[in-house]
A and B are shown apart, each in its own frame.
Chain A
Amino acid sequence: MNTYEISIELGQLISYIKDAETGHRGYVITNDSLYLEPFINARKNVNNTFQALNTTIKSDSTKQEQLKKVYDLVDKRFSYFKNNFSSKKEFNDDFRNGKIIMDSLRTEVNNMLSTENKLLSSKDKLYKYNNSNTPLIVFSTFLISILILGLGYTRIIKNYNDLINQNIRLKIFDESSKQAEILGKYGSWLLNIKDKSFSYSDNKFRLLGCKPQSFHPTLENLLDNIHPDDKEILTDAFQQIEEKESFPLIRYRIIKKDTLEIRHFRTTAKVFVDKLGNKNMIGTTQDITEDYNKTQLIELRNKELEQNNKELMEFNHVASHDLQEPLRKIQTFISRIEDKEKDTLSESAKGYFEKIQEASNRMRILIDDLLQYSRTNRSEKAFENIDLNHVASNAISELSENIAEKKAVINFEKLHHVQGIQFQLEQLFINIISNSLKYSKTDETAIVNITSKKVKAFKVPKLKDDSKKEYVKISFKDNGLGFEQQYAEKIFQLFNRLHGKKEYPGTGVGLAICKKIVENHKGYIFAKGKPNEGAEFEIYLPV
């Protein structure tokens, strides 16, 4: 700060004036011009000092005023330095006046010095204050630095640990994906779109029948193992990377390098831009030979099935139309002969004629039953909520003639509802009831009791279903002829009969149809019988 400069300059100023005074006095006393030299120098030096001071305090107007006073006083003081005095009195007066001015000059300079000193002391105070704060500031700066350093360190350690963990996870992932590739029979590959660098995973090599990383994959040797007929598929797909930066799902065959076996591959890929801005194509190639073969087999089986179905439909048509047609004609002709010519026939011809009639009637029944059986197969109708009471009463009214003829009693009350196909369930009831009517005892009123209750699957061991699925159990119990329990399953087989045609006419289709209907409904049917005591049919249908 300029406080020190001002003080020094002011001190010098006083000292220069003293030099001037001393020089002047020496000259006055000795009249030797040698003493004038310091006096002349002092004048010069004083001027220099003023100039220096003036520049130093240029910006401060109060100090400038003070300096002006000092300057005036100095000027005045110099005016008393004379070389020759006319009288002793003049000399004395000048001497005294010079001293007075010198005193006031000193006072003025001291004033200035004290102002500067005040300024200095206040600055000093500030400095001291600042100085006393410095250790604190230094210390806290140090503390903060340590803290930042510490935080940074923990952060770095944490990141480092994270990195290690991530690395471990990456290793695990890498290992598991290697295993997955082997198990899943797939391999992966990476193609840098820009520099065309290409790499395969280990398993990709194995799939091709090569040792892992045994050659360097390039776009050129890509086609080496591909089946000649499928090379184009690959070329087209890789062309697409070039053009659209995409890759289609492709299927192709390869020839394994080691076993020369043809395998079916499936490949898909996707563009992936990494953090460094590299555009890569990440691809997965899978060996789908097993799936392919299975699909082929399924397709073959499906075709066979379709063929079988078609044949069955054709048979159905043959049975329903072509087979019926000649039979219908035979029967129509029979009816015409019966109407017109019966009386002219001989007795034996009449007997044969009746046999023809019977046989053709039986054939008609067989064809009708067979048709009904094959139609039961077609269950394209949607399942509805069916009231079994409704089904039972419809079946009874359908059989009313038969029931009346046998004077039978059919009982049912409060049956449940099931999910099913109305007309099929009616057929089921009709077939079972008419079966009971057919095998009823002649000396006893035929009674059929129909009941139903809900049961859980696991409570009925013979269903072989441990679930809690709910079924409606419908029971038809009669007091008829019954049957030996050993035939309980046989009676549901197509064309199977326990009695001769003569005693009990029938085709052996009725109960087979019942079984089919129940199976259509995902249910179960069982028969229980005791000769001469009666039969019971149990049907379980899903609720």
Chain B
Amino acid sequence: MQKDFILITLADDDEDDRMFFTDAFEELKINTVVNTVNDGVALMNFLNAAETVLPNIIFLDLNMPLKSGIECLKEIKADSKFKDIVIAIYSTSSSEEDIENTFVLGANIYIKKPNNFGKLKEILSEVVTLNWQYITSGLNKDNFLLRM
């Protein structure tokens, strides 16, 4: 793993959202390497491939064809080799049910996709620069949903 770069993977089936995401990181000028996958199956294939360098943070859309974000979350949390990866849920929905479910399943943070590009950049920069080691030790439901 390159020490100076934060490796980021986004799993999202929506082309526009992937574009917003990569554009935002480009404009942010943080040392990140962003790669995107189009669905849950592609994400798990990528993570399980031998040559893959595991990402530091996975942004996970919930509503995806073939394999949903929830299913991916379960698989990732069930495999100890992924234990250091931060999981950020990245979804249009902010239903109580989804928030509750993903929290219980062990996601680290819940981001509701914003409707403003400026806001998106703010949020992504906040999530990437968070000191995760510190945050994950004191996980609680009150700050699970990122509010900005």
Contacts and interface: CB of A to CB of B under 8 A. Distances in A.
Interface in B96-140: 113-120
Nearest to A364: B115
A320 interface: yes
A329 B16 contact: yes
Interface string A187-216: 000000000000000000000000000000
A347 interface: no
A320 B20 contact: no
A324 B20 contact: no
Name the interface size band of chain A.
10 to 19
A232 interface: no
Interface centre among A328, A332, A336 (most CB of B within 10 A): A332
Main secondary structure of the interface of A (DSSP, over half): helix
A434 interface: no
Contacts of B92: 321, 324-325, 328
A286 interface: no
B38 interface: no
A327 B95 CA distance: 17
A339 B115 contact: no
A445 interface: no
Nearest to B118: A335
B116 A332 contact: yes
B70 to A, nearest CB: 14
B63 interface: yes
A336 B117 contact: yes
B48 interface: no
A321 B93 contact: yes
A331 interface: yes
A247 to B, nearest CB: 49
A320 B120 contact: no
Contacts of B93: 320-321, 324
Given A320-B95, A321-B92, A332-B20, A327 B115 contact: yes
B91 to A, nearest CB: 9
A484 to B, nearest CB: 38
A327 B117 CA distance: 13
Nearest to A324: B92
A339 B63 contact: no
A335 B16 contact: no
Given A320-B93, A325-B92, A332 B115 contact: yes
A324 B119 CA distance: 17
A328 B63 contact: no
Interface string A233-246: 00000000000000
Nearest to B95: A320
A320 B97 CA distance: 12
A335 B63 contact: no
Contacts of A321: 63, 92-93
Interface in A280-332: 320-321, 324-325, 327-329, 331-332
A48 B13 CA distance: 151
A331 B116 CA distance: 6
B26 to A, nearest CB: 13
Nearest to B63: A321
A328 B115 contact: yes
Nearest to A361: B115
A325 B64 CA distance: 13
Interface of A: 320-321, 324-325, 327-329, 331-332, 335-336, 339, 364
6 contacts: A321-B92, A328-B113, A331-B115, A332-B16, A332-B114, A335-B118
Interface of B: 14, 16-17, 20, 63, 92-93, 95, 113-120
Minimum-distance CB pairs A-B, first 10 = A331-B115, A335-B116, A328-B115, A335-B117, A336-B117, A325-B92, A321-B93, A332-B117, A329-B16, A324-B92
